[in-house]
Amino acid sequence: MNCETARSLIHGYADGELDLERSLEIERHLAGCAACTAALREIRVMRSGLRSGTVAFDAPAELRAKIRDAIDDRRRAEDVASRRSSSRLAMLSRSPSRWTGGAFAAAAVLMIIVLVGGLRRSASSTDALIGSEIVASHVRSLMADHLADVISTNQHTVKPWFDGKIDFAPTVEDFAAQGFPLTGGRLDYADGRPVAALVYRRNKHIINLFTWPIADARETAAQVEQRQGYNLVHWDKGGMAYWAVSDLNGAELSKFAALVRDDGAPVASPG
């Protein structure tokens, strides 16, 4: 790594935004470069100054009070409006027990919302964690200009590159004919283990496809979700977990996922 590259990456390094491999490269460079070490020291000296003392302003108490008042005003205004409309409804229905009926209905609806919300959260909390890891890895790969360790559009170059670097052989397919050319691959880290990241392109959009073996051999349907503005598609198949992430729109990313699913009959190999 030369100083010019190091001088900008050093900020990502100081901010804890680089992946492991880039961080190690920077550290190797720093070990032999006094000028870049001085640049890193500048960042840290200013940071310690900025973070100590009272450079950051706390909100004045009067502002806090004003905002609380403003919220309470709005709340009262909406309460009055909703009470008016519910009493109008009650008059129309002429029910003697209109208030209790309404309260029961409201309580029932609330309970359903709480139940459904709770269930959904618990079933997918692991996936949610992995999902945010995947998005973070995707962002890091774009930011540090570290998309690929092996840059090749040839699946027969990319696949063997993983040999000996991870304990499984990911299926690597090029989908150039379908408009999703393979551009490379790299090692990444997710779900507490090294994983294969395959890089594809759709026009100007980058797609990262993360894959690794899992204990559960069940096949799951592709789940599409949005996270921090990125689209994620996740499925498990043949004992492998797959996560595709991109800023590409959901429909096109699903199309990509469908291509991978059909061709990808991945084989977890012991070496």
Partner 1 sequence: MAGPDKFDRFEDAILPHLDAAYNLARWLMRDDHEAQDAVQDAYLRALRFFSGFRGGDGRVWLLSIVRNTCFSRMRSGRARQGDSEFDEQMHAIDNSAANPETLLLRSQDEASLRRALESLPTEFREVIVMRELEGLSYKEIADVAELPIGTVMSRLARARKRLAQLLTGEGSG
Residues in contact with partner 1 by the rule CB under 8 A: 3, 7-9, 11-12, 15, 17, 35, 38-39, 41-43, 45-60, 62-64, 66-68, 70-71, 74-75, 78-79, 81-82, 106, 109-110, 136, 139, 142-143, 145, 228-229
Helix axis angle for 61-93 and 98-123, nearest 10°, is: 120
Q: 68 vs 193, which CB is nearer to partner 1?
A: 68
How far apart are CB 247 and partner 1 at their closest, in Å? 10
Q: Residue 190, Cα to own-chain centre: how many angstroms?
A: 11
Are 133 and 19 within 8 A, CB to CB?
no
Taking the complex as a whole, the smallest distance from the CB of residue 180 to partner 1 amounts, in Å, to: 22
- The CB-of-32 to partner 1 minimum distance in angstroms stands at 17
SS3 10: helix
Query: Measured from the CB of residue 98, what is the shortest distance to partner 1 in angstroms?
Result: 15
What DSSP assignment string belongs to 151-189? E-S-HHHHHHHTBTTBSS------BGGGTB-EEEEEEEE
Report the run of H or E that residue 210 belongs to, with start and end: strand 205-213
Beta strands 150-151 and 205-213, pairing class: unpaired
Q: Give the nearer residue to partner 1 in terms of CB position, either 82 or 100.
A: 82
24 or 128, CB closer to partner 1? 128
Nearer to partner 1, 155 or 223 (CB): 223
- Residue 220 or 228: which CB sits closer to partner 1? 228
On whether the CB atoms of residues 175 and 155 are closer than 8 A, the answer is: no
Instruction: Please give the Cα distance from 127 to 44 (Å, whole number).
Output: 36
CB of 141 to partner 1, least distance (A): 11
Q: Which lies closer to partner 1 via its Cβ, residue 21 or residue 236?
A: 21
CA distance 260 to 214: 17
Helices 3-14 and 34-51 sit at what angle, rounded to 10 degrees? 30
From 220, 216, 230, select the one nearest 261 (Cα to Cα): 220
**Is 206 in contact with 219 (CB distance < 8 Å)?**
no
Q: Quote the least distance from Cβ 255 to partner 1, whole Å.
A: 25
Taking the complex as a whole, how short is the minimal distance between the CB of residue 107 and partner 1, in angstroms? 9
Q: Which is nearer to partner 1, 142 or 267 (CB)?
A: 142
